[in-house]
Amino acid sequence: MKHNEKIIILDFGSQYTQLIVRKVRELGVYAEVYPFSIDQKTFDALLVDTKGVILSGGPSSVYAEDAPIPSVNLFNLQVPLLGICYGLQLIAHKNGGIVDKAAKREFGRASITIEDSNDLFRGIGLNSEVWMSHGDHLTKIPEDFDIIAYSHNSPICAIRSTKKQIWGVQFHPETHHSIDGKAILGNFLFTICKCEGNWSMGSFVEHSVNEIKQKVGDNGVICALSGGVDSTVAAVLLHKAIGNKLHCIHIDTGLMRKDESATIVKLFKEHFDISIDLIDAKELFYSRLNGVSDPETKRKIIGKTFIDLFEVEAKKFEDARFLAQGTLYPDVIESVSVKGPSATIKSHHNVGGLPEKMNLKLIEPFRELFKDEVRNVGTLLGIPEWFVERHPFPGPGLAIRIPGEITTEKILILQEADAIYIEEIKKAGLYKEIWQAFAVLLPVKTVGVMGDERTYQYVCALRAVTSTDGMTADWYPMPYDVLSTISNRICNEVVGINRVVYDISSKPPSTIEWE
């Protein structure tokens, strides 16, 4: 999608890079992430509509042999440049300054003293609390640069060259721990880069509808409708753009939550007035997944089976030339290691599972958006709040919530346990506080006792996290009385489970899903 103004962020492997994107977008300016290794031709093309460039932080030292050093010309741009942490050190290193290992590493909150509040620190007081995360620091600034802030441990905490239109800060303004961080980023965007701040979900919807109309023309679009928030909002957006040229297809993989497929079909026909075809493909998915234990292999099989089925169904619609999916920005980032030196975490069924050649062209209207942004789009499109606020459900479904081999018995057990879990957190009024909650059936059996009989049954793990976009997440402190009720119900009502445990891992180091 073309944007009238945008900010380009070059990623050097910081855990906070996605926070920079989010904060910039929240301020009303569109932002995108690209790897530090971007080539000059691509970078030059991006600069046409770009108002400024931000260099992210990163774990490396600029003076190390394997340090991520861009090959593009960053220091004679026609737009302002802001370096954050490693980005600041790169600016100094490449412009004649000196970066050394700090005698005392600085991680966590720190107080900075501001010496110049003309631009980047406009409206900020003399002192501000910020978030530091670095082991190196500047010991000499480059020529034509000034020091505009310092801290007790970093005498050179922020620098500026008005001549070169370059700014750099040692701290992370993108984190919520930096009290004035949003204001500092706002100063870069509006005072320095002269952005207008016209990015919004409303403008996104308008641009998307026009772009979809232009791209699709008189052709038809098949929408891969899982019934989750992403694909549902995508379907409603597509329907707004192309009307009955949209053909929604829901595949019952046999890996859905209890009664999910029937509920989805009823909802779309009665509430959205959008036609939907239900394909019962349980046996096909089960047969292809038979004996498969590796999580990546499961995801790939499920992704390929989805596409295979959609291509078959597409032949029933002579006008169909496109396949729509609800792929999100974090899906793309986690699936493909193109965002700087970040590692591939896992493939997503609607990214990593695609075959190299397809008979249908892809439409992914949310490929640039985060989950909460998609929810905002859904609200703007009139989708009921109770549906828009549904927890995320992965495309591979329960297949990645049953570590190891999948069987029909395991699926039925997990469906029952999961239904009880969701029902109880809704009863307790906790559903909206939690970003995602689900049950996992572990490939472990333990000894139990029910009545006077010994049992040897599966362990069920419960997972609940808080998050905004799924890139990071904290485990939810579920009240003990709610956990007790859930555990009692699952053990008493679900034949096949005799033990319930609660997952208290955050992301990182864990992922939200177990596979």
Compute the distance between CA of residue 510 and CA of residue 463 in angstroms, rounded to an integer: 12
Active site residue 373: no
**Annotated catalytic residue, options 3, 134, 137, 172:** 172
Q: Is the pLDDT of residue 347 over 80?
A: no
Alpha-carbon Rg of the chain, whole angstroms? 25
Give the mean pLDDT of 475-499: 97
Integer CA distances (angstroms), 508 to 106, 130, 475, in order = 21, 22, 11
Beta carbons within 10 angstroms of residue 511's beta carbon: 15
Q: Is the pLDDT of residue 375 over 70?
A: yes
pLDDT for position 63: 86
Of residues 23 and 275, more confidence is placed in: 23
**Annotated catalytic residue, options 174, 334, 416, 424:** 174
Asked whether 300 and 400 are in contact (CB, 8 A), the reply is no
Give the mean pLDDT of 55-62: 89
Compute the distance between CA of residue 365 and CA of residue 238 in angstroms, rounded to an integer: 9
Asked whether 170 and 55 are in contact (CB, 8 A), the reply is no
pLDDT for position 64: 83
Active site residue 349: no
**Annotated catalytic residue, options 3, 5, 85, 223:** 85
Q: Is the pLDDT of residue 342 over 70?
A: no
Give tens-digit pLDDT for 299-330: 999 988 988 887 787 788 888 888 888 888 77
| Residue 470 pLDDT level (bands cut at 50, 70, 90) | confident
Q: Is the pLDDT of residue 332 over 70?
A: no
Map tokens 């980047």 to a residue: 120
Q: Is the pLDDT of residue 133 over 80?
A: no
- Report which residue type is found at 97: G
Tokens coding 185: 């980023």
pLDDT for position 134: 66
Q: Is the pLDDT of residue 371 over 90?
A: no
| Residue 263 pLDDT level (bands cut at 50, 70, 90) | confident
Compute the distance between CA of residue 165 and CA of residue 53 in angstroms, rounded to an integer: 11
| Residue 146 pLDDT level (bands cut at 50, 70, 90) | very high
Residue 359: strand, helix, or coil: coil
Q: Is the pLDDT of residue 343 over 80?
A: no
Q: Is the pLDDT of residue 346 over 70?
A: no
Q: Is the pLDDT of residue 217 over 90?
A: yes
pLDDT for position 103: 55
Mean of all residue pLDDT scores within the chain: 87
Q: Is the pLDDT of residue 353 over 60?
A: no
- Phi and psi torsions of 121, nearest 5°: -105, 25
Strand blocks (E) in 332-435: 361-363
Compute the distance between CA of residue 346 and CA of residue 336 in angstroms, rounded to an integer: 8
Compute the distance between CA of residue 307 and CA of residue 366 in angstroms, rounded to an integer: 19
Tokens coding 151: 């801290």
Could you tell me the pTM of the whole model? 0.71
Of the candidate ranges 46-55, 94-103, 107-116, 455-464, the one whose mean pLDDT is the lowest = 94-103
Give the mean pLDDT of 41-58: 92
Q: Is the pLDDT of residue 494 over 60?
A: yes
pLDDT for position 418: 98
Instruction: Classify the phi-psi angles of 282: left when phi > 0, otherwise alpha if psi is within -120 to 50, otherwise beta.
Output: alpha
Compute the distance between CA of residue 313 and CA of residue 169 in angstroms, rounded to an integer: 54
Q: Is the pLDDT of residue 391 over 60?
A: yes
Of the candidate ranges 336-340, 362-366, 387-391, the one whose mean pLDDT is the lowest = 336-340
Active site residue 364: no
